[in-house]
Structure 1
């Protein structure tokens, strides 16, 4: 770039995305005089999914603004909780976030997940077609223009990832209502109706069952229930009561 110089500062929360020398205060950026402010910010490493507001000389400005020489730009972080207008809150997770997808489903959050790598264009297209917030740690994927909405997942640890998403979007929690395998809706099931789908020991030991309306998988309070129940209880304590 060889054009107007502007001054840009980033919110501390965005420090992960920008070079060290641009953290902590304003820095000079040379633009080409034609690119939009949104393009400039992304060229500096910050996906627009993580930007809450662009403030130019004290006024909030659209991403389509073309910077002029001498302008002072402040790039704010996305607010939390973040509201996603225009559709029920639903998520789409990329191939690397399978554990997070299962934990969101355990809490009753609509979380579609691609268990194979279908490629960035297909993921972005599905986000747009189904109006789902795409969750990913791939910054390049989050810059794709066809996305309906997206969010960067800041940690590589599933516990922290779950807290990050719940804290950012505050989705309604309806524990034990979704299939952790396919994201389908669970319904109560009588033992006799699912007897052919479970082993004899399970039939003798348990009386309460649920079944996925989409994939027919059967659930009961087995050996892992206490661990899952503790996870659910912790999420409800920190992020709100379950929706009835």
Structure 2
């Protein structure tokens, strides 16, 4: 390119996306004089889902801004919690984030999940159709134009992934209200009404049950309950309505 030279700085949390030459403070970049700032940012490797405010010479600009000679450009990250247009806040997770989907559902967060690889175009279209924030570790998927809203999941560890999503979007938590298998609402279930779905030992040992209103799966406080309680309690303590710094 042989166009305007701009002086670009990328927020520290976004520097993992860009080449090493652009990770240390402000760097000169030659543009083509016709591309929008949004295109320039994406060409460096930063999905626009991850870019917060774009600031030129101290003034916020739109992604459609065309950089001019000598401008100082700052690509900032999102403020947290990040507002999402419309309501209610719902998520869609790609095929690689099954554990995160189950954790979010455990916390009562509406988290649709595709257990099979339906392809990037279909996922992006589903995000737009259902107005869901698409969560993915696939940077290319997050750059698709038909996407309604999206977010990069920065860690490959489920515990960190949950904290990242809850801290970024501050969804309302309602633990134990969603089916971890299909995302459907859970309803209290009478023992007699679900008895034919239970093993003999379970019928003899437990008395409190819930059942998914969509897939009919039955839940009770089994051997793994203590571990799940730990996950729920930790999330509520840090991100629930009474947590320090919670959005009111």
TM-score, reference length from structure 2: 0.96
Question: Which whole-Å CA distance do the structure 1 matches of 2:108 and 2:94 have between them?
Answer: 19
User: Using the alignment, how far apart are the partners of 2:173 and 2:127 within structure 1?
Assistant: 21
Q: What is the DSSP-based 3-state SS (H/G/I as helix, E as strand, rest coil) of the residue aligned with 1:77?
A: coil
Q: Which residue is equivalent to 1:69? A: 69
CA deviations over 1:115-152 (Å, ceiling 9, x no partner): 01000000000000000000000000000111110000
- The aligned residue for residue 116 of structure 2 is 116
Partner deviation per Cα, 1:83-136 (whole Å, 9 max, x = no partner): 102121000000000000000000000000000100000000000000000000
Residue matched to 2:246: none
Partner Cα separation in structure 2 for residue 108 and residue 155 of structure 1: 22
Deviation at 1:57, TM superposition (A): 0.8
Q: Runs of 4 or more off by more than 4 Å in structure 1?
A: none
> Per-residue CA shift, 1:14-51, capped at 9, x if unaligned?
11111122112111111111111000000001011111
In structure 1, runs of 5+ residues without a counterpart are none
**Residue matched to 2:195:** 195
Matching of residues 159-238 of structure 1 within 5 Å: 159-238=159-238
When normalised by structure 1's length, the TM-score is 0.97
Partner Cα separation in structure 2 for residue 108 and residue 241 of structure 1: 14
Look up the SS of the partner of 1:15 in the other structure: helix
CA distance in 1, matches of 2:137, 2:125: 18
1:54 aligns with 2:60: no
Aligned partners of 1:59 and 1:86: how far apart in 2? Answer: 27
Give me the whole-angstrom Cα distance separating, in 2, the residues matched to 1:117 and 1:39.
28
Task: Name the structure 1 match of 2:92.
Answer: 92
Mean Cα deviation higher: 47-56 or 233-242: 233-242
Tell me what 2:245 maps to: none
- Give the corresponding residue for 1:151: 151
| Equivalent position of 2:38 in the other structure | 38
Distance in 2 (CA, whole Å) between partners of 1:228 and 1:196 is 25
Distance 2:114 2:141 in 1: 14
User: What's the CA shift string for 1:52-106, capped at 9, x where partnerless?
Assistant: 1000111000000111111110000011111102121000000000000000000
1:241: Cα distance to partner?
4.0
Distance 1:26 1:166 in 2: 31
Structure 2, unmatched stretches of 5+, are 243-248
